[in-house]
């Protein structure tokens, strides 16, 4: 049995496997998305329907690519990291002057794209430090980043002590 979860303004419908069939031998299926698209048939622009499967990861990537608010915040975070190499997480949030959840979300997406390197020390009480990568510099400058960003090879520096 599946449940269908959707919002009126979203083109994809999320399906969640909530109960396997009694006679099934396999396990539960990971949540996935279906997009329903109109297809023109003859003179009728909505004569047919195409159903497109998308994994949860594909749908998340699609949302992030087309979220202008997230893109603006990511550019703001990246510019701050560029100007404050080695800044601590708290300093980053304070410098962005936004919610910590949104700032960390943008930072995590930048890290996933390899535009920033985030050093997370194993010792407690040591700050998490942020560094811009060459791919991040290119993206910030409006250049297309390399298809496969190289390793996060920003130089090692001392952490920014933050506001004095």
pLDDT for 83 beyond 50: yes
- Given this model, what pLDDT does residue 147 score? 42
Same domain, 75 and 108: yes
Average pLDDT of span 78-87: 95
Whether the pLDDT of residue 85 is over 80: the answer is: yes
User: Which whole number is the average pLDDT over 78-97?
Assistant: 93
Do 79 and 134 sit in the same domain of this protein?
yes
**Is 73 contained in some domain?**
yes
Of the three residues 56, 83, 102, the one that is the final residue of a domain is 56
The CATH number assigned to the domain holding 118 equals 1.10.10.10
Q: Are residues 125 and 105 in the same domain?
A: yes
Indicate if 11 and 51 belong to the same structural domain: yes
Question: pLDDT, tens digit, for every residue of 30-67?
Answer: 788 887 788 888 888 888 888 888 887 777 766 656 67
Q: Is there a domain that residue 145 lies in? A: no
Tell me, yes or no, whether 103 lies in a domain: yes
* Average pLDDT estimate for 134-156: 63
- Give the pLDDT score at 154: 42
Q: What is the pLDDT of residue 71?
A: 85
Let me know if residue 150 belongs to a domain: no
**Residues 77 and 46 grouped into a single domain:** no
Residues 134 and 73 occupy one common structural domain: yes
pLDDT score for 95: 93
Answer yes or no: is pLDDT of 164 > 70.
no
Compute the Cα dihedral for 104, 73, 87, 164 and give only its sign.
negative
Residue 154 lies in a domain: no
pLDDT tens-digit series, residues 105-144: 899 889 988 999 999 888 877 888 999 999 999 988 887 5
Give domain status of residue 36, yes or no. yes
Asked whether residue 8 carries a pLDDT value surpassing 70, the answer given is: no
Does 121 map to a domain?
yes
State pTM to two decimals. Answer: 0.52
- Tell me which residue range forms the domain holding 35: 2-56
CB 39 within 8 A of CB 27: no
On whether residue 161 sits in a domain, the answer given is no
Same domain, 114 and 135: yes
Contacts of 64 (CB under 8 A, 6+ apart): 70, 109
User: Per the structure, how many domains does the chain have?
Assistant: 2
Note whether 100 and 51 are same-domain residues.
Answer: no
- CA dist 128 and 95 (Å) reads 15
User: pLDDT value at position 75?
Assistant: 92
Is the domain of 50 the same as that of 71? no
User: Under DSSP, is residue 56 helix (H, G, I), strand (E, B) or coil?
Assistant: helix
Percent of the chain residues past pLDDT 70, beyond the cut: 76
| pLDDT for res 97 | 82
């Amino acid at each position: 049995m599946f449940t269908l979860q959707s919002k009126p303004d979203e083109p994809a419908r999320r399906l969640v496997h909530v109960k396997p069939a009694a006679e099934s031998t396999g396990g539960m299926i990971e949540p996935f998305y279906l997009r329903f698209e109109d297809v023109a048939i003859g003179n009728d622009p909505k004569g047919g329907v195409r159903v497109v499967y998308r994994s949860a990861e594909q749908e998340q990537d699609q949302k992030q690519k087309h979220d202008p608010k997230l893109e603006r915040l990511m550019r703001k975070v990246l510019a701050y990291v560029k100007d404050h190499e080695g800044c601590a997480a708290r300093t980053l949030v304070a410098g962005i002057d936004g919610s910590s959840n949104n700032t960390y979300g943008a930072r995590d997406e930048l890290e996933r794209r390899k535009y920033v390197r985030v050093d997370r020390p194993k010792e407690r009480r040591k700050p998490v430090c942020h560094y811009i990568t060459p791919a991040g510099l290119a993206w910030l400058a409006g250049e297309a980043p390399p298809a496969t960003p190289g390793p996060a090879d920003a130089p090692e520096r001392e952490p920014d002590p933050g506001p004095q």
